[in-house]
C-alpha cells in the first residue's frame, strides 16, 4: 500500500469537531505542528520552519498503524469511528489492496511496543503520539490508558503530552 500520508491526511480531516473544520492545514501539517509545539513549547515559525507535509512513507505508515491501534484500543470500533475510517478511505482513494491492509490492521492492530520500537527520535515520537491522539476522542478508560502507555513507550516528557491535549482542546 503506497502513500500512507494521504490516508493519514484524510483521517485527520475526517475527525469531527472544530479542530480541523476551518484549518487550511493538511492532516500531516497539523500533526507536525502539534508535535513541534509539544516538544518546544512554541509554535513553529511561519517561514523557514520545517515542512510537516513531507513525511517518509515509513513514518506515515507508522502514523496510520498507531491511529488504527488507538481507534481499537477500547476493543471496538464504534459507529462514529467507522464512519470516519470509511470517509478517509473514500477520500484517499484507497485501492483494494489498501482496503484489505486496513481491514487486517483493524482485526489485528499493532501493539504499543511494536510501534515504539520503530520510532526514531523525539520529534518522530511526538508526531506518532499526536497522530494517535487525533485519531480518537479518548472517552473510555481503555483509550486514555492506551495514550498514557504510548507516551511512556515513546519516552515523551509529560509536558509534551499535556501540550498536545491542550492544543487539541483549544
Judge contact between 119 and 125, C-beta under 8 A: yes
* Nearest Cα to Cα of residue 88 among 154, 20, 38: 20
**Res. 138: pLDDT tops 50:** yes
| H, E, C per residue of the chain | CCCHHHHHHHHHHCCCCCCCCCCCCCHHHHHHHHHHHHHHCCCCCCCCCCCCCCCCHHHHHHHHHHHHHHHCCCCCCCHHHHHHHHHHHHHHCCCHHHHHHHHHHHHCCCCHHHHHCCCCCHHHHHHHHHHHHHHCCCCCHHHHHHHHHHHHHCCCCHHHHHHHHHHHHC
Total domain count for the chain? 1
Residue range of the domain that includes 78: 4-169
Write down the pLDDT at residue 25: 66
Please state the rounded mean pLDDT for residues 154-160: 93
**Res. 16: pLDDT tops 60:** no
Please state the rounded mean pLDDT for residues 85-89: 83
pLDDT tens by residue, 41-73: 998 888 888 888 888 989 999 999 999 999 999
Please state the rounded mean pLDDT for residues 20-30: 68
Identify which has the larger pLDDT, 25 or 83: 83
Q: Which of 11-15, 74-78, 99-103, 131-135 has the highest mean pLDDT?
A: 131-135
**68-to-18, 29, 37, 44, 95 alpha-carbon distances in Å:** 22, 19, 24, 27, 18
pLDDT band at 74 (very low <50, low <70, confident <90, very high): very high
Judge contact between 125 and 155, C-beta under 8 A: yes
* Nearest Cα to Cα of residue 143 among 90, 81, 100: 81
Judge contact between 75 and 144, C-beta under 8 A: no
pLDDT tens by residue, 2-12: 578 888 888 88
- Greatest Cα pair distance in the chain: 43
Write down the pLDDT at residue 164: 95
Model-level pTM?
0.91
CA–CA gap between residue 52 and residue 161 (Å, rounded): 19
C-alpha grid cell, residue 156: 515523551
Q: Which of 47-56, 66-75, 106-115, 156-165 has the lowest mean pLDDT?
A: 47-56
Amino acid at each position: 500500500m503506497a502513500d500512507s500520508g494521504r490516508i493519514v491526511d484524510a483521517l485527520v480531516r475526517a475527525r469531527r469537531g472544530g479542530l480541523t473544520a476551518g484549518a487550511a492545514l493538511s492532516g500531516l501539517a497539523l500533526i507536525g505542528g502539534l508535535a513541534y509545539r509539544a516538544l518546544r513549547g512554541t509554535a513553529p515559525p511561519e517561514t523557514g520552519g520545517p515542512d510537516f507535509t513531507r513525511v517518509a512513507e515509513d513514518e506515515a505508515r507508522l502514523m496510520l498503524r498507531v491511529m488504527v491501534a488507538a481507534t481499537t484500543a477500547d476493543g471496538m470500533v464504534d459507529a462514529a469511528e467507522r464512519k470516519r475510517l470509511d470517509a478517509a478511505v473514500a477520500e484517499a482513494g484507497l485501492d483494494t489492496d489498501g482496503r484489505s491492509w486496513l481491514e487486517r490492521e483493524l482485526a489485528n492492530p499493532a501493539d504499543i511496543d511494536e510501534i515504539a520500537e520503530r520510532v526514531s527520535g523525539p520529534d518522530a515520537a511526538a508526531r506518532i503520539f499526536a497522530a494517535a491522539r487525533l485519531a480518537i476522542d479518548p472517552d473510555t478508560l481503555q483509550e486514555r490508558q492506551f495514550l498514557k502507555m504510548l507516551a511512556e513507550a515513546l519516552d515523551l516528557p509529560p509536558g509534551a503530552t499535556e501540550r498536545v491535549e491542550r492544543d487539541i482542546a483549544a
